[in-house]
Amino acid sequence: MDVNGNAALKLPGSVETPPLACWPRVEPMGRPGWSGLVKRAKYQLRLLLSAPLRPQYLQAVSQHPAWRELHRRHPECYYPALSHFLDRRFGLRHRFQVALADLRQAEACFGPHLSLRLANGESVPLWSLTPDCHVTLSLNEVSWHEGRWMLSLRNGQGQRLYSLSFGFLPCGALLVGTVQGPRPEVEDVEERIRELTKSAEGLRPPYLLFEALRAAAAAWGVSALVGIDPAHHVKGRWNLRSRRLRFDYRRFWSEVGASQRGDGYWQAGLQPLPRDLSEVPSRKRAMYRRRWAMLGDLAQSLQDVLRAAR
C-alpha cells in the first residue's frame, strides 16, 4: 500500500521489502497512578535519547523473520536496550550494540528454524533427566533485562523448576545473566528438588543446568562462557542487592570451576573440569561414575538435538 492507502505496484522480478518493525508506544509500558506516570516519563526520555540508535536496530529486526516475529509477539523485548541489559554497567549506545549482537549471534547459533520456534514462544526439549523432568530451551519468561534466552528444568506440566538466562556478547562470548529457583506456585517444591538431585546423581539442579549450558555453548562454538558478578547484575544496585539477589553467584561460579576476571565476569571452561576418581571417597565413586556417564549422555543429546533443530 502507498501513503494514500492504494495498492502498491509490484514490478516483475522485484523483491518485496519486509515491513519495518515499529518501536512500541509508551502506553504498553505504563502503569496506572503516580508510578505509571513516572515510568512513562522515563520511557519518553529514553526514547528521546535513543532516537539516533533505534533506526539501525529496527532495520535489523525487520530483515530477520524470526526476530521480527519475536518483537511483534513480545514488544516488551524492545525495552532492555533503553534501560538495562545483561550488565548494568552498559551505557545506552553499548546496550544497543549488545542487543543487536545478541540477536545476530543467536541466529548463528540456533539457525533459522530453531530461532523461529523460539520467537513463536515454544519451549524446545533438549534432554530428559526423568520422564517427568526435562531440560528445555526457550525465551526468558522471567526478565528480558537478564537475557533473552533461557535454559530451564521443567516438569511434565511445563512448570519451571530451575532456570539460567543468558545472552550473547559482541565478542562472541555467552554471558549467564541470572540463575532462578522454583516458582512459588510449584507444589512440594523442596521435595521435588530433593528428587531431582537424587535423579541427577547428587548434582543439584542449578549445577545440572550449568552443565547443560556448558554443553550447549560448546555445540554452538561460542568463544567463551562467562557469568555476571553480582556487583554488575542488572538487579545488583548496591542498596537493593541483598534484597533482590538471593542466589550466591560468587560461590556458584567458584563451584562450577569459573575464575574471576579483571572485567567483572567469571569465566568457565567449555568442558567440565576433569576430576581424579582417587580424590573421591570410595563410597561415592560409583555415584560419580554414573554422574559422569549422565553428563556425557546430556552433552551428546544436546549436540544431536541442537544440530537437528537448526
**pLDDT tens digits along 140-182:** 999 999 999 999 999 888 889 999 999 999 999 999 999 988 7
Q: Is residue 140, in this structure, part of any structural domain at all? A: yes
- Reference 227, options 86, 93, 99; nearest CA is 86
State whether 167 and 41 are in the same domain. Answer: no
CA 73 remoteness from chain centre: 17
Q: Which of 71, 99, 118 is the last residue of a domain?
A: 118
Which domain does 262 fall in, by range? 124-309
- Residue 168 contacts residue 175 (beta carbons within 8 Å): yes
Q: Which of 73, 102, 118 is the last residue of a domain?
A: 118
Q: Is residue 11, in this structure, part of any structural domain at all? A: no
State whether 107 and 195 are in the same domain. Answer: no
Q: Is residue 3, in this structure, part of any structural domain at all? A: no
What is the spatial distance between Cα 293 and Cα 310, in angstroms, rounded to a whole number?
Answer: 26
What is the spatial distance between Cα 97 and Cα 87, in angstroms, rounded to a whole number?
Answer: 13
Q: Is residue 2, in this structure, part of any structural domain at all? A: no
Q: What is the band of 2 on the pLDDT scale with cuts at 50, 70, 90?
A: very low
- What's at 2, amino acid-wise? D
Q: Is residue 4, in this structure, part of any structural domain at all? A: no
- Residue 234: the pLDDT is 86
CA neighbours closer than 13 Å in the CB half-sphere of residue 246? 3
Backbone angles phi, psi at 259, to 5 degrees: -115, 145
State whether 143 and 185 are in the same domain. Answer: yes
- Reference 85, options 186, 25, 166; nearest CA is 166
Q: Is residue 97, in this structure, part of any structural domain at all? A: yes
DSSP state letters, 184-249 = TTSTTHHHHHHHHHHHTTT--HHHHHHHHHHHHHHHHT-S-EEEE-GGGSTT--TTTHHHH--S-H
Domain of 156, CATH number, reads 3.40.630
State whether 110 and 250 are in the same domain. Answer: no
Helix (H) or strand (E) holding 41: helix 33-49
**pLDDT tens digits along 54-84:** 999 999 999 999 999 999 999 989 999 999 9
**pLDDT tens digits along 248-266:** 899 999 999 999 998 999 9
**pLDDT tens digits along 41-51:** 888 899 999 99
State whether 100 and 194 are in the same domain. Answer: no
- Residue 241: the pLDDT is 57
Q: Give burial (CB, 10 Å; 0-12/13-18/19+) of 165.
A: buried
State whether 112 and 184 are in the same domain. Answer: no
Q: Which of 70, 92, 118 is the last residue of a domain?
A: 118
State whether 63 and 177 are in the same domain. Answer: no
Q: Is residue 15, in this structure, part of any structural domain at all? A: no
State whether 110 and 133 are in the same domain. Answer: no
Give the cell for residue 125: 526439549
Q: Tell me the pTM.
A: 0.87
Q: With pLDDT > 70 as the criterion, what percentage of the chain qualifies? A: 86
State whether 174 and 75 are in the same domain. Answer: no
State whether 107 and 135 are in the same domain. Answer: no
Q: Is residue 16, in this structure, part of any structural domain at all? A: no
State whether 182 and 299 are in the same domain. Answer: yes
Q: How many domains is the chain partitioned into structurally?
A: 2
State whether 128 and 263 are in the same domain. Answer: yes
Backbone angles phi, psi at 25, to 5 degrees: -70, 170
